Amino acid sequence: MNCVSCFVKPSANNGWVAQIDNQEFGPYLSCDMALKVAIADALARRKTGCPASVIVADADGTVRAKRCLCASFAPQPL
């Protein structure tokens, strides 16, 4: 199964967007709000067994942060 990338990036119209599966959500007033949308989607996908990652980028496309939420990063039972 391919890892779904949930991108957070500045919007062309000011603000920030969350881009998930070729759909854009937003624009939001802050990066934090767009990041909450991306994380919520990634966690929902992970819960159903779909690997997902969250990526935050600058306006020039430089990746500032990336966190993979794939099954290999899931907490293991004790």
Residue-wise pLDDT tens digits, 11-29: 988 899 999 988 999 999 9
Structure tokens at 17: 């967007």
Q: Give the predicted TM-score (pTM) of the model.
A: 0.83
Q: Other C-beta atoms within 10 Å of 30: how many? A: 10
The domains of the chain are located at 1-51
Q: Other C-beta atoms within 10 Å of 2: how many? A: 7
- Strands of 4-10's sheet in order across: 23-28, 16-20, 4-10, 52-57, 63-68
- Whether 77 shows a pLDDT value over 60: the answer reads no
The pLDDT tens digits of the residues spanning 16-69 come to: 999 998 899 999 999 999 999 999 999 998 888 888 999 999 988 899 999 988
